[in-house]
């Protein structure tokens, strides 16, 4: 788990994602951000080149284009 206190940055700033990559040895092109906030989770991940899964349980309309969009968490098994 990576916290904003550890990274000294908060989503959607790229520094928190870069810190997570540094700490885990992961790379953006083979990482996946799963979140329920388009403006924080999805946008932040997209800025650093990560694929994103937008968890939208109420199917709220929006004009953004996440890599994936799901309305129930069980749908993750079809993505990962």
Helix (H) or strand (E) holding 33: strand 32-35
Is residue 52 within 8 Å of 66, Cβ to Cβ?
yes
How many domains is the chain built from?
Answer: 1
Secondary structure letter of residue 11 according to DSSP = T
Cα–Cα distance for residue pair 11/17, rounded to 1 Å: 8
Cα–Cα distance for residue pair 68/1, rounded to 1 Å: 23
Range(s) of the domain holding residue 32: 4-78
Summarised one tens digit per residue, pLDDT across range 55-76 is 999 999 999 999 999 999 999 9
Summarised one tens digit per residue, pLDDT across range 34-56 is 999 999 999 999 999 999 999 99
Higher pLDDT, residue 1 or 50? 50
Cα–Cα distance for residue pair 9/34, rounded to 1 Å: 18
| CATH code of the domain covering residue 45 | 3.40.50.1000
């Amino acid at each position: 788990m990576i916290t904003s206190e550890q990274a000294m940055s908060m989503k959607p700033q790229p520094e928190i994602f870069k810190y997570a990559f540094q700490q885990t040895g992961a790379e953006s092109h083979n990482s996946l951000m799963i979140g329920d906030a388009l403006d924080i989770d999805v946008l932040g991940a997209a800025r650093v080149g990560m694929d994103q899964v937008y968890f939208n349980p109420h199917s709220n309309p929006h004009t953004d284009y996440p890599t994936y969009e799901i309305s129930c968490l069980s749908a993750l098994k079809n993505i990962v």
